[in-house]
Structure 1
């Protein structure tokens, strides 16, 4: 499938209900409103196509940008490529659900994510923390440096309430994810989550969102989900 064929198919798959939901979460026109599951048949046909992914991402259409992440060749992208994509990210759904998910399948994931976390830019910070969440939820624990993750938990506890809203959200989810998916630091992550308590995230045109990683984590641990890993993170 080429660019025109993909765009035509995406447009045909869009629904007003899904479009309204995406717009309410920060997407801006042009948006077709395609449910992520509806993209799977196209993904199976195309598999990976970096050139096509670049065309789709550059279109500025939210659904095309999402599908670009689905078919991107994560290891064909350089740090400069990921930075370029992040430069075009205008909402958390792009930084956290498209770019961070794609980056999490690249060999340079942690290297790039570390720089984004230290960037001081809200969506880069959010994308960096979320990259670790996607990594932790998929890769075996021996792929990580325990001391490094422990220091990141310390950073969350010490600074989360002073961060931009989307960074707060991502850091809160990081504490939850370590507690659920990284067995060696689960107890520490639980202690950190308990210490940070409720995290309030201000959202445009919506009521503030109040997060509590400790309570959510305890519910999942009580269900016996410690060590949870998913097979795939991309659609």
Structure 2
């Protein structure tokens, strides 16, 4: 299928309710409001197609950008490709759930994520931490350096309260994911979560709230979810 045909298919799948929900989370025009589950039949028709994914992502249409992540071929993408994608990710549903997810299935995931984490740019940092969460929740523990992850927990502990909001969410999720999905550092992650305590997000606004990794970790432990690994990252 060509770009124009895919865009027509996506537009036909759009729902006003989904569109409003995406907009409430930060999406802006152009977008159609396509539910992610509704994209699956279209994916089965197209399958993986990196050239088409690049065309879709370049449209700036939220639904097209999301679908680009579904049909992308991560191992065919270079660090420069991922830089271009993260530069186009204008809110967290793109940075953390399209770009970071796609990056996590590449061979350069940690290399690129490490660079983003130190970038000082909120959505880049958020994507970098999120990518590690996707990695840890999918790949075997042996693929990671325990020393490196321990140092990353220390970095989170020392900087999370002063980080931008989206990065706070992703750092908080990193602590949780290490505790649940990376067995060698379970205890250290629990300790880190307790030391960090509640983290305020949206500070100074009517929607200000606190997130607390320790609470979510305990819930996962109570449900016997420690050691959890998902078979696939992308849908």
* TM-score bin, normalised by smaller chain: over 0.9
Aligned to 1:201: 201
Q: Return the offset for 1:203.
A: 8.0
Aligned to 1:78: 78
Distance in 2 separating the partners of 1:96 and 1:122: 11
Written as runs of structure 1 = structure 2, the 5 A alignment for 1:164-183 is 164-183=164-183
Aligned to 1:218: 218
Aligned to 2:230: 230
Aligned to 2:29: 29
Residues 1:119 and 2:109 aligned together? no
Q: Structure 1 regions of 5+ residues with no counterpart?
A: none
TM-score (structure 1 length as normaliser): 0.97
Superimposed CA distance per residue, residues 188-218 of structure 1 (whole angstroms, 9 cap, x where no aligned partner)? 1011111111111118986123211100110
Residues 1:142 and 2:146 aligned together? no
Superimposed CA distance per residue, residues 164-207 of structure 1 (whole angstroms, 9 cap, x where no aligned partner)? 11111110000000000001101110111111111111189861
Distance in 2 separating the partners of 1:14 and 1:204: 35
Aligned to 1:162: 162
Superimposed CA distance per residue, residues 80-125 of structure 1 (whole angstroms, 9 cap, x where no aligned partner)? 0100111111101111000000000000000000000001111100
Distance in 1 separating the partners of 2:191 and 2:123: 27
Distance in 1 separating the partners of 2:200 and 2:38: 33
Q: Structure 2 regions of 5+ residues with no counterpart?
A: none
SS of the residue 1:37 aligns to: helix
Distance in 2 separating the partners of 1:219 and 1:122: 28
Cα 1:99/1:136, change in 2 over 3 Å: same
Aligned to 2:38: 38
Aligned to 1:6: 6
TM-score (structure 2 length as normaliser): 0.97
